Structure 1
Amino acid sequence: MRFNRILLSTTLVVVALVIQVSVLARLQLPGAVPDLVLLTVLALALVYGHVGGALVGFGAGLLSDLAPPADHAAGRYALVLCVVGYLAGLAKPESGRLRSAAGPLLVVVSAALGSTLLYAGVGALVGDTAARHVGLVGLLFTAALYDLILAPFTVPLIIALARRAENDPLGEGSPANKAADVSSGWLASGTGLSIGNQRGGLRAKAAKARVARAGRIKGVKRL
């Protein structure tokens, strides 16, 4: 991943994690907790694709595993968000532009349900049965509902920030760098071959003019 992607992704994930732990987790809503970190991973995956989504998801999940008050094994949520980020990145449009809001909302609902099921499944493998006591059906419903309500206020903003960072004038392939390459190439060649080519072109034009002038004079003499 490029430096601007790493910097933006890290900043957004840290901010989302702080808001989720310090604000959303303390709302004491019934069922699940609104997952702002998950929405951040989804939004970035829709811009960066499946590889970038998997990397961002793994990093975001690992931070969530280590952030207090984590009560599960480290790496559990990293695995979940890595898989979710990869799958969400597959939904990235080829043109890079989303035609409607239905696609991202469908991705949000699918990710909310899939991450909850995968998290509970991994927990069952390691002996964590908390999902059974809370109620898996209630967790699925509330997770999808809360993330769907929060998505319109977060996903479009994160996508816009990621796209703006992709058009960084300091990045590779940007118009500014292309102009710099053109100007440097012009400076490099303008003192040598370009001047020689220009002189050769002027000489050829002068020779053609002399030939044309001589032809006109001969024509007058024939008359």
Structure 2
Amino acid sequence: MRFNRMLLSTTLVVVALVIQVSVLARLHLPGAVPDLLLLTVLALALVYGHTSGALIGFGAGLLADLAPPADHAAGRYALVLCVIGYLAGLVKPETGRLTSATGPMLVVVGAAIGSTLLYAGVGALVGDTAARHVGLGSLLFTATVYDLLLAPFTVPLIMALARRAENDPLADNQPSGSADVAGGWTSFGTGLRIGSQRGTGLGGGLRVKAARSRAGRAGRIKGIKRL
């Protein structure tokens, strides 16, 4: 990964882990704990792709395995987040743009369910049966609900930061209220986008009117900028 990716990813992962351990884990909510670390990996994977998503997921999971008060074998959550980061990165569109919040919301739901099942499955292989005593169904439901409630406040912000760090033209030219993947959480893809056209459409009509009113000038109007 490039240096700016590594620096931003490391900073976001450390901040998410500190908040999760020191704040979210102390809320003592019924069932699962809101997984801010998982949402951070998802957001970065949706911007950087599957390879970076897997590497970031592995690093984030390994930090979670080693951070106190971890009570499970080291590498268990690293494996889970590595797989989740890889799969989430595969969902990244080629254009880097999604038109609504539906796609990211489905990714969050799938990641919450998949990470819980994979974590419980790996635990069963190493003899950890804690999920059976707590209730796997309750864990799946609460993990999904908590992550969905937390996602609109974290995923768009992290994706926007990742794009800025990448000097992504989509982030630099992104208008307010547009249908980008980050803005889609709140606008649901209702933004308006008008591009310049040559010779036809609105841009062409303006050029014709300007040419008629300014017959002696050779300049051309290039159309309307994106709103």
TM bucket, shorter chain: 0.7 to 0.9
Separation (CA, whole Å) in 1 of partners of 2:143 and 2:59: 21
The match for 1:132 is 132
The one-letter amino acid of 1:10's match is: T
Residue 98 (structure 1) shift: 2.0
Count how many residue pairs are aligned between Structure 1 and Structure 2.
169
Q: How far apart, CA to CA, are the structure 2 residues paired with 1:126 and 1:48? A: 32
Tell me the distance in 2 between the aligned counterparts of 1:15 and 1:56.
14
How far did 1:37 drift?
Answer: 0.1
- The answer for the alignment partner of 2:70 in structure 1 is 70
TM superposition score normalised by structure 2: 0.74
Write out aligned runs for 1:43-122 (5 A). Answer: 43-122=43-122
Match of 1:19 in 2: 19
Structure 1 unaligned segments of length 5 or more: list them: 169-223
1:159 aligns with 159
Which residue is equivalent to 1:10?
10
Separation in structure 2 between the aligned mates of residue 130 and residue 59 of structure 1, nearest angstrom = 24
Q: Equivalent pairs: percent with the same residue?
A: 88
The Cα RMSD (Å) is 1.1
Q: 1:16-56: per-residue Cα shift (whole Å, max 9, x none)?
A: 00000000000000000000000000000000000010000
Whole-angstrom CA distance in 2 between matches of 1:63 and 1:93: 29
SS at match of 1:29: coil
Q: Does 1:146 align with 2:143?
A: no
Give the drift of 1:97. 1.5
Q: Deviations over 1:137-195 (max 9, x none)?
A: 00000000000000000000000000000008xxxxxxxxxxxxxxxxxxxxxxxxxxx
Give the TM-score of the pair, scaled to structure 1: 0.75
CA distance in 2 between partners of 1:157 and 1:28 (Å): 26
